[in-house]
Amino acid sequence: MARLGGPGRVATLDRPLARAAPARGSIEAALVSDSGVWLPATRLPLALARLHAALVEGGRAGLRWRRLPEAASAHQKARGWARRRDPETGRFGLTCDSERVRTWLEDAGFDEIEIASAGARDHFWTLARRAHALPDFVRPGLSVLVCGLNPSPYSARSGVPFGRPGNRFWPAALRAGLARSERDPIDALRAGLGFTDLCKRVTRRASELSAEEYRLGIERLARKLLELRPGVLCFVGLDGWRRAVDRQARPGWLPGGFAGRPAYLMPSTSGLNAHADLDSLARHFGRVRRAAARG
């Protein structure tokens, strides 16, 4: 397994990952000795997003996981994780398939992911690099899952979806009552509003994305909806949906939904989109909020 790190700020984390993480960009490497022991799977995406934020770009994280046992049920093997009581301590811990962990790390903005033996049959290690990326902010039970096309360089630097100055996402979402705090994805997640992207690669322009990235992104989004089952999917960026899925798509509710969930398509909130003003964007978000409230 590759060596952690570089000189300087190295943090050993265990319980802190379950509660919070060091300040943004404050560490160059992190060692997490028992990932998932203190966390249910539902809270891992946010914990990994916080770890991503705490690392400098290019920083490394080594995480030790408990392996999914051979005796796991077919359902547990299909989803890639299960909870198991430790016979020695009596505590419940998360056991995982290595490929499921790889997906969690990719969604949290990590790349160059290596998987290695931990010297014991029931554990394994992952080493991952903190990429220039924007992590997902998700959990099961969301009222609304917002999906953008792909992150901008500004959002990847700031860690805030739709964070670029001039983007009208947050002002419109606040006006509609969909969000309650300005540019705060953690608070939004607590309130039931989550964020993901169709494509995770950071680009300055959507035209840099390939047809294959769109195809894989649609497959990834469908898997995520089947797992998280949010009340409503809100896709922000109608032109992106047209490039990825349906060139004839129109703003509003998607007939038949998407991956078994109600889905709403709306224009881009970018300040470059002169065809939509703040009031019209807020009306779109208002429709999504009301539908989610009705359940």
210-221 burial string, b = 16+ CB within 10 Å, else e?
eeebbeebbebb
Residue 202 DSSP class: -
Q: How confident is the model at residue 92 (pLDDT cuts 50, 70, 90)?
A: confident
Residue-wise pLDDT tens digits, 159-215: 999 999 999 999 999 999 999 999 999 999 999 999 999 999 999 988 899 999 999
Residue-wise pLDDT tens digits, 106-160: 999 999 999 998 777 788 999 999 999 999 999 999 999 999 999 999 999 999 9
Among candidates 146, 32, 49, which has minimal Cα distance to 106? Answer: 49
What's the CA gap between 96 and 280, in Å, rounded?
44
The helix or strand, by DSSP H or E, that contains position 166, with its residue range, turns out to be none
Burial class, 19, CB count within 10 angstroms (exposed 0-12 / middle 13-18 / buried 19+): exposed
Residue 23 has pLDDT above 90, yes or no: no
Beta carbons of 202 and 114 less than 8 angstroms apart: no
Domain 10-130's class? alpha beta
Homologous superfamily assigned to 144-294: Uracil-DNA glycosylase-like domain (3.40.470.10)
What's the CA gap between 257 and 137, in Å, rounded?
22
List, by residue range, all CATH 3.40.470.10 domains of the chain. 144-294
Residue 258 DSSP class: B
What's the CA gap between 189 and 191, in Å, rounded?
5
Q: How confident is the model at residue 14 (pLDDT cuts 50, 70, 90)?
A: low
Full-model pTM: 0.90
